[in-house]
Copies of this chain bind each other. A is one copy, B any other.
Amino acid sequence: MSTGPGSGVSELLLLGPGPSNPYPEASAGLARPVLGHLDPEFLDLYQAVGDQLRAVFRTANRLTLPVSGTGSSGMEACLVSLLEPGETAIVGVNGYFGERLCEVARRAGAEVVRVEGEWGRPLDPERLLEAQRANAGARLLAVVHAETSTGVRNEVAPLRALQDTDTLFVLDTVTSLGGIPVEVDIWGVDAAYSATQKCLGAVSGLAPITFSDRAVARMVGRSAERPICSFYLDVGLLEGYVYEPHRYHHTASSVLVSALHAGLGRLLDEGLPAVHDRHRRIGELLQSSLPALGFGLVAPDGHRLPQLTTARLPSGVDDAKTRRRLRDEYGIEVGGGLGPFAGQAWRIGLMGHNARQRSIATLLGALRSLLG
């Protein structure tokens, strides 16, 4: 399907762990004229996107904005802005992105307390709360809501109990936001980050974040002797750029913000409950269809993400070769397994614009031909 670098003729159906194909509205947003990073119209657009993100995160937090980097930059912005060297970070680890939280916290100079769980199984929130009781001085507790590496949903609502402690609750919503309910205010989340190329239906390059008043106070109250090690990802500086007094910080990309604005507009026009319901129905349909083709579902019932399914390959099926044929002959991308699932399982995403029946029909049709 390829005719060389940059020729851009390959139009793939992206059913991996993200990026997903953007909503047509988001693609149209990308094509809007470029605006200067301090242009009043662009700054208005930022406010409008902030309002949309508050609706999607389900929060009243003023400090809600897209960081100019991918989802990983959002993770790092939250951790480096909230942690000082030597402080303790408690991290739930039952997949690749829990591991990454540990690594980012370690690099920020934190002492990391790991609460480990098996990959492919949900974490017990009670064990996270226990770890906090054993480390009551911990600055924050971070956990991944939807583990992109395994397709598992962690139960995070009980972590609201952290509001009664001095430990901030940091939540990774990279794969959950827009796909399954996320309730920042109801769950007492102090800092959450996400990405734009998955269930939000835009393109990668921005990381929406939101900070509670408690998180903002923490950031403002940092010791002046130990500045945030990143200038680019200093959430306080980002706030001063996106909101009044609009102090120049970096040259944000108006076309990425336009694409996000348009994608979120499409999502909110459909309505958050309807979008969640669509993801749920489509995910269940895929998950009920895969066993007949010999695939096994990794995540347990009740903790299985509809938007991202990790499916163990039928015996005798070669991972790399089959994915390559799926891509080259059918124009479909699915993701390979990570960690213990490398070579053993696929990660199949049905996110945003791709959370529809046609995606499943296309994938299953191709799989029946390839494996049948």
* Chain A facing B: main interface SS: loop
A8 touches B21 (CB 8 A): no
A39 touches B18 (CB 8 A): no
Q: How far is the CB of A195 from chain B (nearest CB, A)?
A: 7
Instruction: Give the residue of B6, B36, B47, B252 whose beta carbon is less than 8 angstroms from that of A258.
Output: B6
Known: A107-B230, A253-B205. A12 touches B37 (CB 8 A): no
Instruction: Give the residue of B5, B69, B107 whose beta carbon is less than 8 angstroms from that of A68.
Output: B69
For the complex, what is the distance from the CA of A261 to the CA of B7, rounded to whole Å? 10
A contacts with B, residue count (CB < 8 A): 72
A262 within 8 A of B: yes
A108 within 8 A of B: yes
Interface residues of A in 214-260 (CB under 8 A from B): 227-233, 249-256, 258
Residues in B whose Cβ lies below 8 Å from that of A33:
8, 10-12, 21
For the complex, what is the distance from the CA of A70 to the CA of B32, rounded to whole Å? 19
Interface residues of A in 130-178 (CB under 8 A from B): none
B19 touches A251 (CB 8 A): yes
For the complex, what is the distance from the CA of A256 to the CA of B19, rounded to whole Å? 13
Q: How far is the CB of A130 from chain B (nearest CB, A)?
A: 28
Residues in B whose Cβ lies below 8 Å from that of A249:
72
A35 within 8 A of B: yes
Residues in B whose Cβ lies below 8 Å from that of A100:
231
6 pairs of residues in contact across A and B, judged by CB atoms under 8 Å: A10-B33, A36-B333, A69-B232, A204-B253, A205-B253, A229-B230
Interface of A toward B, CB cutoff 8 Å: 2, 4-6, 8, 10-12, 14, 16, 18-19, 21-22, 27, 29-37, 39-41, 44-45, 47-48, 68-73, 76, 80, 100, 103-104, 106-109, 195, 197, 203-205, 227-233, 249-256, 258, 261-262, 265, 327, 333
